[in-house]
Structure 1
Amino acid sequence: MVTGAGSGIGRSVALALAEAGWSVALAGRRATALEETAAALPSGDFLTVPTDVTSAEEVAALFAAVRDRYGRVDLLFNNAGTFAGGGVPVEDLDPETWRAVVDVNLTGAFLCAQAAFRAMKEQEPQGGRIINNGSISAHVPRPHSIAYTATKHAMTGLTKSLSLDGRPYRIACGQLDIGNAATEMTARMQTGILQANGQLAAEPVMDAADVAATVVHMAALPLEANVQFATVMATAMPYIGRG
């Protein structure tokens, strides 16, 4: 299952998983975008389920649909997220935007992970894998990104707790921290984005397919092995030395 599958990294990962032979469930808020992703998949078994990950009821319906179709859940790529409020100084960020980012990036990730955990614990044979989309911002922030950065730091705690709680049930959980994959959300990085020294600078990006290849590798491991944390980023981006 891939959340946020309608565009960007989610679409690239769904395509790569399908090419690797996985049956793929596509989840996201926009039905039209999910259909566009589905149209790009190679011939194979897939399911599209429009879902708002901030809704516990819709997440429950998503997992019920997947289990009805496939009988089990072997993999969740917990990818849905938003950068709303990015570029707004902390003193100007309104509480509604803060809550919206937390709802999608943290609560939505928790609801999907919880539903996957339940399914993986109950199914026979037991177990499965959850891969959380963290971010470079799970380590270091960009200027004016307090809501996004806080949720991505929280994602690391979510990953660690899932890893610990999943041990008795053969549920592996890892986190992929991504830097500057070329998507709609990162388009402005190529034209100029605020740096820690107050200057604007263009930043290099990488193909989202390179991220997808890493997810496919993590997903293909036996449940006795786990990539706990991995960082995949544009080689020359200002991460080492940021700030």
Structure 2
Amino acid sequence: MRTFDGRVVLITGGTSGIGRATAQAFAREGARVAIAARGVDRGHAVRDEIQHAGGECVFLPTDLSRVDQIQSLVEQTVSLYGRLDCAVNNAATEVGILKPTADFNEEEFDLAIAVNLKAVWLGMKYQISQMLRQTPVGGAIVNTSSLNGLGGARMGSIYSATKAGVLAFTKSAAQEYAANGIRVNALVAGGFHTPMLHGLLAKMSQGDPAAEQELEAQYQRMIPMNRLGDPAEAAEAVLWLCSPAASYVTGHSMIVDGGWSAPLR
């Protein structure tokens, strides 16, 4: 029997990077997976990948900056599958990076807060409400944060603030609902091959492939393992946090970064 046979898993930001790898991993372990994101073409592509590999997956187009769509996302998942066992709040925007604090405008601030922080709170709000209603009661939630959330990053103040907020929400909710059988943990990811990271490197190098390659090499040299992580490696951490093997783990911020932050801890 596979670890998540018959379990229902909802993943936001499930069409690329860590979210995509997590959806594939859950499906491989027998879960019925609902993925949510704005990009319809990518959503259908990931759904098809999972189905062709023998997994069960549905794509639910969702704008995570809209409250009504986040509530509807949970309702649609439960309507399709009957319950919600695990949720991974993974969606994020890179807005809030690559500028000094005083250069951001209010629109950028509001968008970063809406997608990176408010959507996590709203996701938990409706996910937890469902987990409290269902029989048996309970479930597991993993919120994706970042090394930037452990301390303010230069040229990334707004993004860092949102990711620090995710960690605070995670720890608070974990304490509030532990007695109800709902575990809430965070993935603190750092240094992964993702479209977001490579998009940022491309912006920083101003479209110069050689400069982008050198920037990536600089990142790798800061990581003790001397490489960027594969999103599948982050996915395995998420699966463990949601699995029965982690039944006594809640309120935890699991750092997966190849040792990058070890000197700071």
Global fold match (TM > 0.5): yes
**C-alpha distance in structure 2 between counterparts of 1:234 and 1:40, whole Å:** 28
**C-alpha distance in structure 2 between counterparts of 1:190 and 1:18, whole Å:** 34
1:165 to partner: Cα distance: 1.4
Aligned to 2:124, the other structure's residue is in SS state helix
Q: What's the counterpart of residue 218 of structure 2?
A: 201
Q: Is the 8 A contact 2:26 2:239 kept in 1?
A: yes
Matched, 1:226 2:226: no
Matched, 1:91 2:87: no
Structure-to-structure mapping, 1:1-243, within 5 angstroms: 1-41=10-50, 42-187=53-198, 188=201, 191-192=214-215, 201-203=218-220, 204-221=227-244, 224-226=247-249, 228-235=252-259, 237=260, 239-241=261-263
**C-alpha distance in structure 2 between counterparts of 1:39 and 1:148, whole Å:** 32
**C-alpha distance in structure 1 between counterparts of 2:67 and 2:100, whole Å:** 31
Question: Structure 1 unaligned runs (5+)?
Answer: 194-199
Question: Structure 2 unaligned runs (5+)?
Answer: 1-9, 202-211, 221-226
**C-alpha distance in structure 1 between counterparts of 2:149 and 2:121, whole Å:** 16
TM-score, normalised on structure 2? Answer: 0.83
Residues 102-127 of structure 1 show CA distances to partners (whole Å, capped at 9, x for unaligned) of: 00000011111111000000000000
Aligned to 1:24, the other structure's residue is in SS state strand
Q: Is the 8 A contact 1:171 1:223 kept in 2?
A: no
Residues 14-44 of structure 1 show CA distances to partners (whole Å, capped at 9, x for unaligned) of: 0011111111001011111111111221212
Higher share of residues assigned helix: 2
Amino acid of the structure 1 residue aligned with 2:254: A
Q: Is the 8 A contact 2:191 2:219 kept in 1?
A: no
Aligned to 2:109, the other structure's residue is in SS state helix
Amino acid of the structure 2 residue aligned with 1:17: F
Residues 118-159 of structure 1 show CA distances to partners (whole Å, capped at 9, x for unaligned) of: 000000000001101011111123311011000111111100
Amino acid of the structure 2 residue aligned with 1:234: G
Amino acid of the structure 2 residue aligned with 1:4: G
**C-alpha distance in structure 2 between counterparts of 1:165 and 1:31, whole Å:** 35
Provide the identity percentage.
26
**C-alpha distance in structure 2 between counterparts of 1:92 and 1:240, whole Å:** 31
Count of residues paired in the alignment: 234
Aligned to 2:151, the other structure's residue is in SS state coil
Residues 211-237 of structure 1 show CA distances to partners (whole Å, capped at 9, x for unaligned) of: 0111111111267422522100134x4
